[in-house]
Amino acid sequence: DAKTTQPPSMDCAEGRAANLPCNHSTISGNEYVYWYRQIHSQGPQYIIHGLKNNETNEMASLIITEDRKSSTLILPHATLRDTAVYYCIVRVVSYNTDKLIFGTGTRLQVFP
């Protein structure tokens, strides 16, 4: 199964863009990249996902490299409430399975 590698922690000033990198060099062609975040020990919260193209929604943007071996989650204007652990995840789906493969995540600290 494909796995992801993320830096264990990052800091970001409030109001600035937070750029969270992720490596997934063994990802297969039909496997999606998902991002979730977890605040304290709450249930993981969906942020965004993509396959090949860059994606944007009201929360964030996802930039996927052309070779799909890495991606970057961008929070354009970080707030204190964005402090959380961010997980870059490969989603493996087939006719008989649907699995999110979590890494250990990046702990993002947004400071005033």
Partner 1 sequence: EAQVTQNPRYLITVTGKKLTVTCSQNMNHEYMSWYRQDPGLGLRQIYYSMNVEVTDKGDVPEGYKVSRKEKRNFPLILESPSPNQTSLYFCASSLTPSGVETQYFGPGTRLLVL
Residue closer to partner 1 by CB (options 14, 102) is: 102
Of 73, 87, 106, 110, the one binding partner 1 by CB under 8 A: 87
Longest Cα–Cα distance of the chain, Å, equals 47
Q: What single string gives the DSSP state of each residue in 17-51?
A: -EEEEEE-TT--TTPEEEEEEE-TTSPPEEEEEES
Considering the complex, state which of residue 14 and residue 100 has its C-beta at the smaller distance from partner 1.
Answer: 100
Q: Describe the strand order of the beta sheet including 18-23 as a list of residue ranges.
A: 18-23, 70-75, 61-64, 55-56
Nearer to partner 1, 40 or 81 (CB): 40
Binding letters toward partner 1, positions 30-69, x by CB under 8 A: xxx---x----xxxxxx--x-x------------------
**Residue 29 phi/psi, 5° resolution?**
-60, -25
Query: What are the residues binding partner 1 (CB under 8 A)?
Result: 30-32, 36, 41-46, 49, 51, 87, 91, 93, 96-100, 102-105
